[in-house]
Amino acid sequence: MTVHESVLDAIGGTPLLRLRRLGAGLSPRIYAKLEFQNIGGSVKDRAALSMVRAAETAGHLRPGGTVVEGTSGNTGIGLSLVAAQLGYRSVIFAPTATAAEKISLLRAYGAEVHLVADFVPRGHPDHLASRAADFAAATPGAWLAQQYDNPANPAAHRESTGPEIWADTKGTVTHLVSSVGTGGTLSGTGGHLKEASSGRIRVVAADPEHSRYAGGDGALKYVEGAGHALHPDSTEDIWPEAFDTSVVDQYVRVSDREAIFTARRAAREEGLLTGATGGLALAAALRLAGTLDADDTVVVVLPDSGRNYLSTCFDDGWLTRLGFLEPPDPAGTVRSLLAGREPAGVPILPASLTAGEAIAAAAALGLEPTAPVFLALDRGTRHGTVHPREVRAVVTPESLRQLAAGSGSPEDAALAGVAYQALGAGEPAPGRRPDAAPGFLAVLVDGRIAAAAPWPA
Ligand SMILES: Cc1ncc(COP(=O)(O)O)c(C=O)c1O
């Protein structure tokens, strides 16, 4: 057994695992690079250590200093464990939608965690990056990691992940498949493998279907950490400097649903618990492998463990609420979600209606304009499903009742007013910006999205 003198020595050196069951019937050998075997549980430990070491060398981080970063979790976990070992304070800004497991881990490593709104246009003072940068600027001795643009991030993979794969496959690897968040993993690992193989190796980027990287519309995705979303109010689409797009030979686009269900398959069929970005990369690797032959060897990077997502991707209730597990009839889904709590006489309208069409349908049923209407989730055209962060307004039966009665808190009345207008009731919509981008109107039951419809543009 290897004996380590420091936790930092337990970063890297992860194994490859042959995927015999997922790869059954496919010609190439497929190996998974198990990045969750890093001491902090993800591929980002490598980048975190590399960035901290580079900052120390450059004199940006000195004894007693503070490590600061805006991150959806794994980089923060890596940074906070490295900081703990080296005696630095760590302050992490994380989006509110980050999986609860990751937030708890950050705190367990002693990080100070600030949760910030995450569906905010880039450049806005409340954007994650702005909040972290402002904090670092105002804190003496603070250093901001900036993983998206930090060259020490891809360098970590050029120096460790790439050489490990080359050595462990004895130079027989022909294809690398990786997701892209900051791009550090793919650019550094792929860059090294291309050099080592004199350009023979093909590098394949697995991308969530709405991600901008592979040409998607930038809508939000459920696969935390991979892909590039774009807030509709962002004026510029800025890509990370850590992502060297020239390394990519091919993009494979994967839906949230396929990514999540491939991760679940890996757990049940291979005994391999990986997160949604692992599922994303696996789905792309399996699709790619179908086009290759027996001389090929595919290595697919699994960035972190499914343990980070037990309350999300591996929870059937979460999947049902968000529409990933559903019977063929979406209206049936809404009905089952509302089971036993459905107010008498409330119609459930079919999927694919716009909000305006829904209100017309409700009127045709002889409903009062103030009656709550549950709209079945509209899937398919623009978004795979409704992401909670895309919901611009919520309406509950109670808020509509209060609006009709002229009572309720100003916030409730404003929200209900916005929703009311979206439903076509003709009321002015307090607080709604005329140029607001299309979104979703949602009906909440017990604080969870039970149904939603496209917000009229
Ligand atoms: C779960 C997960 N998968 C994939 C990635 C992408 O890795 P990279 O930033 O090296 O592109 C990240 C990055 O944070 C991540 O947290």
Segment 171-197, tens digit of pLDDT: 999 999 999 999 999 999 999 999 999
pLDDT of residue 377: 46
pLDDT of residue 366: 65
| In the chain, domain spans | 7-41+151-309, 44-144, 323-454
Q: Given the DSSP bridges, would you call strands 202-208 and 374-375 parallel, antiparallel or unpaired?
A: unpaired
pLDDT tens digit sequence for 99-134: 788 899 999 999 999 998 767 778 888 888 999 999
pLDDT tens digit sequence for 268-322: 999 999 999 999 999 999 999 999 999 999 999 999 999 999 988 999 877 866 6
Element (H, E) at 178: strand 175-179
pLDDT of residue 454: 56
CB 70 near ligand 1, within 6 Å: no
388 phi/psi in degrees, rounded to 5: -55, -30
Find how far residue 129's CA is from the centre of its chain.
Answer: 16
Identify the weakest region by mean pLDDT among 74-78, 384-388, 419-423.
419-423
In percent, the amount of the chain with pLDDT more than 70 equals: 70
Task: Count CA within 13 A, CB hemisphere, residue 32.
Answer: 31
Mean pLDDT of 347-364: 58
225 phi/psi in degrees, rounded to 5: 105, -25
Given the CA of residue 308, which atom of ligand 1 is nearest to it? 1
Residue partners of 5: CB distance under 8 A and separation at least 6: none
- CATH node for 7-41+151-309: 3.40.50.1100
Q: Is residue 408 scored above 80 in pLDDT?
A: no
Task: Count CA within 13 A, CB hemisphere, residue 225.
Answer: 28
Q: Is 363 exposed, middle or buried (0-12, 13-18, 19+ CB in 10 A)?
A: middle
Buried b (16+ CB within 10 A) or exposed e, 100-118: ebbbebbeebebebeebeb
Q: Is residue 202 scored above 70 in pLDDT?
A: yes
Query: What is the rounded average pLDDT for all residues in the chain?
Result: 82
Q: Is 44 a catalytic residue?
A: yes
SS3 179: strand
In percent, the amount of the chain with pLDDT more than 90 equals: 58
Residue partners of 78: CB distance under 8 A and separation at least 6: 11, 38, 40, 42, 44, 45, 46, 47, 48, 49
Identify the weakest region by mean pLDDT among 89-93, 172-176, 179-183, 325-329.
325-329
Q: Is residue 160 scored above 80 in pLDDT?
A: yes
Mean pLDDT of 325-337: 52
Nearest to residue 368, comparing CAs of 334, 404, 395? 404
Identity of residue 445: V
CB 439 near ligand 1, within 6 Å: no
Q: Select the CATH number that applies to the domain covering 44-144 from these four: 3.30.70.270, 3.40.50.1100, 1.20.1250.20, 3.40.50.970.
A: 3.40.50.1100
Q: Is residue 428 scored above 60 in pLDDT?
A: no
Given the CA of residue 147, which atom of ligand 1 is nearest to it? 9
pLDDT tens digit sequence for 367-383: 554 454 555 444 433 33
Q: Is residue 148 scored above 60 in pLDDT?
A: yes
Residue of 33, 35, 43 to test ligand 1 pocket, by largest number of atoms within 8 Å of CB: 43
Ligand 1: centre distance to CA 85 (Å): 22
Q: Do domains 7-41+151-309 and 44-144 have the same CATH topology?
A: yes
Element (H, E) at 428: none
CB 312 near ligand 1, within 6 Å: no
Alpha carbons 95 and 117: distance in angstroms, whole number? 6
* C-beta of residue 398 within 8 angstroms of C-beta of residue 448: no
